């Protein structure tokens, strides 16, 4: 199974057969959040996509070391070493220590990931916990001749690097083209070249987050942390590096340059990038003002939201689009996903009480093959889900006595549904906690008990009437050998 996996590699812009560097093992690195504010739903899309990828690699039998970092230092507002430090700025605003900001938003991020049923990574290293490694790396890049120091700040020399290695490889751009699209240097700039970027930054007198280095007190540039931490935990060359598409042009391009300049090796075999979550076609971001938070989504407390949506409904919504396509948020799409998720879950419940027959009218092996083919084709979740819906349709047809299935196929179907729905897609049964749902649950238990008594008195006309009246209100009663069960028809 695992031998057939094909992954779209951003570096080569083609789908490639996945062949890990070490048989049976995968090293996976994903750029984690910058913990200076709450993660919005767009950030979540990227992390949930990689959770799916991690889950499927595990399901395929690989031993995966999944490293997802926490950026807790060194991220300036601008991508090109300009603007304030995000942590220092937020700390002033909230009147907290920068590390209080880090703690607050790291905990918040973990809560959100738990809500979405995302598995924790194997290692979650922080930038502040790896300052020594970053300094060592910068020293090595300087000694290899690809970086220079000016007044306590160290810059990477892009033009020198590009003489030997194609700097714009990840986005398929030539250096001249990149230079032409970058702001000209002013008299104040310390950099030698327009594309040069900081590896280590001299601290301003008022800054709290600071560390000693061979170049004086300062803090690491944003990109160096990922190069240092990925090579520390996964080696100088590892299998998969991921992140959102917006990281391709600068952060990941610079990561490749740093690692190559330091270790004389290309750091990554397969680069994977997730596409953006958009709202009415505009990328979700804090600055665009359309970045609602998962908490707001769950409660519905945001002007863009018609109602609250459950975490599993939202996860299912994300899974219905391939990770490399944009996903546009809309209330209609989310409501349709909620229904789809409920339908899938209801069929898994129905599957528990399905009656076996001598022969199957559907080919369950074919559906199983289709599910694996979809996932092995660059994690194609929309096609996987279409096949799971086909399985649901069969389950319901058998339950309505329109089709038949063998006992052996019931076992295969249970395995298939459980593995793909729970283990791979990462969905789980959601017990609703709203007061009205709990009340309905209680009322239905009372009604089913009354109906049981009516049936015990052999008043079948009354028990059928009760069932039919409930059905007119979309509550479907089904009598099984273990008693009556009810579901809501969507
Ligand atoms: P940040 O915390 O800003 O470093 O971002 C964390 C991750 O979220 C990165 O991998 C970004 O590429 C990703 N990201 C940011 N905005 C979006 C979006 N609208 N849709 C999908 N991913 C996003
Ligand atoms: Zn990174």
Say if residue 235 is exposed, middle or buried (CB neighbours under 10 Å; 0-12, 13-18, 19+): middle
User: How far does the centroid of ligand 2 lie from the alpha carbon of residue 32, in Å?
Assistant: 7
Residue reference for tokens 């995966």: 64
Q: Is there a contact between 30 and 64 (Cβ–Cβ < 8 Å)?
A: no
User: How far does the centroid of ligand 2 lie from the alpha carbon of residue 389, in Å?
Assistant: 37
- CATH number of the CATH domain containing 339: 1.10.730
Domain boundary, last residue among 229, 248, 274: 274
pTM of the prediction? Answer: 0.89
Which residues, other chains included, contact 153 with Cβ-Cβ below 8 Å and sequence gap of 6+? 190, 198, 200, 201, 202, 215, 218
- Give the whole-angstrom CA distance, residue 490 versus residue 399: 17
Per-residue model confidence (pLDDT) at position 203: 93
Show the tokens assigned to 489. Answer: 């028809």
**Ligand 1 atom closest to 30 (CA):** 10
**Ligand 1 atom closest to 45 (CA):** 21
Q: In terms of domains, do 268 and 344 share one?
A: no
**Ligand 1 atom closest to 243 (CA):** 10
The span from the first CA to the last CA of the chain, in angstroms, equals: 36
Q: In terms of domains, do 368 and 439 share one?
A: no
User: How far does the centroid of ligand 2 lie from the alpha carbon of residue 31, in Å?
Assistant: 4
User: How far does the centroid of ligand 1 lie from the alpha carbon of residue 202, in Å?
Assistant: 27
Q: In terms of domains, do 397 and 477 share one?
A: no
- Give the whole-angstrom CA distance, residue 343 versus residue 258: 49
**Ligand 1 atom closest to 34 (CA):** 2
Q: Is there a contact between 328 and 304 (Cβ–Cβ < 8 Å)?
A: no
**Ligand 1 atom closest to 32 (CA):** 6
* Residue ranges of the chain with per-residue pLDDT less than 70: 1-3, 432-435, 481-482, 488-490
Per-residue model confidence (pLDDT) at position 289: 80
Per-residue model confidence (pLDDT) at position 51: 98
How far CA 41 is from CA of 48, 116, 252, 463, in Å, comes to 10, 11, 22, 47
Domain boundary, last residue among 424, 455, 480: 424
Q: In terms of domains, do 241 and 146 share one?
A: yes
Q: Which residues of 130-166 are buried (b: 16+ CB within 10 A; e: fewer)?
A: bbebbbebbbebbeeebbbbeeebbbbbbebbbeeee
Q: Is the CB of 243 under 6 A from ligand 1?
A: yes
Q: In terms of domains, do 458 and 397 share one?
A: no
User: How far does the centroid of ligand 2 lie from the alpha carbon of residue 340, in Å?
Assistant: 35
Q: Structurally, how many domains does the chain consist of?
A: 3
Say if residue 122 is exposed, middle or buried (CB neighbours under 10 Å; 0-12, 13-18, 19+): middle
Q: In terms of domains, do 417 and 448 share one?
A: no
Instruction: Identify each DSSP E strand in 228-318 by its residue range.
Output: 238-244, 268-274, 277-279, 282-283
Per-residue model confidence (pLDDT) at position 2: 44
Q: Is the CB of 42 under 6 A from ligand 1?
A: yes
User: How far does the centroid of ligand 2 lie from the alpha carbon of residue 228, in Å?
Assistant: 10
User: How far does the centroid of ligand 2 lie from the alpha carbon of residue 288, in Å?
Assistant: 22
Per-residue model confidence (pLDDT) at position 291: 85
Among the listed residues 476, 474, 473, 486, the one whose alpha carbon sits nearest the alpha carbon of residue 446: 486
Give the three-state DSSP class for 259.
Answer: helix
Name the average pLDDT for the chain. Answer: 93
Q: In terms of domains, do 38 and 162 share one?
A: yes
- CATH number of the CATH domain containing 32: 3.40.50.620
Q: Is there a contact between 300 and 307 (Cβ–Cβ < 8 Å)?
A: yes
How far CA 174 is from CA of 113, 164, 252, 273, in Å, comes to 38, 13, 16, 21
Residue nearest to atom 14 of ligand 1 (CA): 43
Q: What is the extent of the structural domain holding 315?
A: 278-424
- Among 28, 46, 51, say which to mutate for ligand 1: greatest number of ligand atoms within 8 Å of CB: 46
Q: In terms of domains, do 118 and 236 share one?
A: yes
Q: In terms of domains, do 383 and 312 share one?
A: yes
3-state secondary structure string across 295-352: HHHHHCCCCCCCCCCCHHHHHHHHHCCCCCCCEEECHHHHHHHHHHHHHHHHHHHHHC
User: How far does the centroid of ligand 1 lie from the alpha carbon of residue 34, in Å?
Assistant: 9
Residue 108 backbone class (left: φ over 0; alpha: ψ -120 to 50; beta: rest): alpha
Q: Is there a contact between 395 and 413 (Cβ–Cβ < 8 Å)?
A: yes
Say if residue 34 is exposed, middle or buried (CB neighbours under 10 Å; 0-12, 13-18, 19+): buried
Residue nearest to atom 2 of ligand 1 (CA): 33
Per-residue model confidence (pLDDT) at position 181: 85
Residue reference for tokens 């889900």: 385
Per-residue model confidence (pLDDT) at position 139: 98
- Among 43, 49, 53, 118, say which to mutate for ligand 1: greatest number of ligand atoms within 8 Å of CB: 43
Residue nearest to atom 5 of ligand 1 (CA): 33
Is 430 domain-assigned? Answer: no
Which residues, other chains included, contact 330 with Cβ-Cβ below 8 Å and sequence gap of 6+? 280
Show the tokens assigned to 394. Answer: 């069969």
């Amino acid at each position: 199974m695992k031998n057939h996996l094909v992954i779209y590699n951003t570096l080569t812009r083609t789908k490639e057969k996945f062949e890990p560097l070490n048989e049976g093992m995968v090293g996976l690195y994903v750029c984690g959040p910058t913990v200076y504010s709450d993660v919005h739903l767009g950030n979540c899309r990227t992390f949930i996509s990689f959770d799916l990828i991690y889950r499927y690699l595990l399901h395929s039998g690989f031993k995966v070391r999944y490293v997802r970092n926490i950026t807790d230092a060194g991220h300036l507002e601008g991508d090109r070493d300009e603007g304030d430090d995000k942590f220092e700025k937020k700390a002033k605003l909230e009147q907290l220590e920068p590390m209080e900001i880090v703690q607050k938003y790291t905990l918040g991020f973990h809560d959100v990931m738990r809500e979405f049923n995302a598995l924790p990574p194997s290692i979650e290293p922080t930038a502040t916990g790896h300052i020594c490694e970053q300094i060592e790396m910068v020293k090595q890049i300087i000694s290899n001749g690809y970086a220079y120091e000016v007044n306590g700040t160290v810059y990477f020399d892009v033009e020198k690097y590009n003489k030997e290695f194609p700097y714009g490889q990840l986005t398929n751009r030539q250096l001249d083209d990149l230079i032409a699209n970058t702001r000209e240097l002013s008299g104040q700039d310390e950099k030698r070249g327009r594309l040069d970027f900081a590896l280590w930054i001299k601290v301003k007198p008022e800054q709290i987050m600071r560390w000693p280095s061979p170049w004086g007190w300062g803090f690491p540039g944003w990109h160096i942390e990922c190069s240092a931490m990925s090579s520390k935990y996964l080696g100088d060359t590892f299998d998969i590096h991921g992140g959102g598409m917006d990281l391709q042009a600068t952060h990941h391009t610079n990561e490749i340059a740093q690692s190559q300049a330091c270790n004389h090796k290309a750091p990554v075999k397969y680069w994977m990038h997730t596409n953006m979550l958009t709202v009415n076609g505009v990328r979700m971001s804090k600055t665009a003002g359309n970045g609602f938070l998962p908490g707001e989504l769950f409660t519905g407390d945001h002007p863009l939201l018609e109602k609250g949506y459950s975490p599993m409904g939202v996860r299912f919504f994300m899974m219905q689009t391939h990770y490399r396509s944009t996903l546009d948020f809309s209330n209609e799409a989310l409501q349709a996903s909620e229904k789809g998720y409920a339908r899938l879950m209801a069929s898994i419940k129905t599957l528990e009480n399905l009656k076996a027959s001598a022969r199957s009218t559907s080919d369950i092996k074919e559906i199983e093959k289709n599910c694996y083919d979809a996932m092995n084709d660059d994690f194609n979740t929309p096609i996987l889900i279409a096949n799971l819906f086909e399985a649901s349709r069969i389950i319901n047809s058998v339950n309505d006595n329109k089709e038949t299935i063998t006992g052996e196929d019931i076992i295969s179907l249970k395995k298939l549904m459980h593995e793909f729905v729970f283990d791979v897609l990462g969905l789980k049964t959601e017990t609703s906690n709203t007061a009205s749902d709990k009340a309905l649950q209680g009322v239905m238990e009372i009604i089913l008990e009354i109906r049981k008594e009516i049936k015990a008195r052999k008043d079948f006309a009354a028990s059928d009437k009760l069932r039919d009246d409930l059905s007119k209100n979309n509550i479907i009663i089904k009598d099984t050998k273990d008693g009556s069960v009810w579901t809501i028809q969507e």
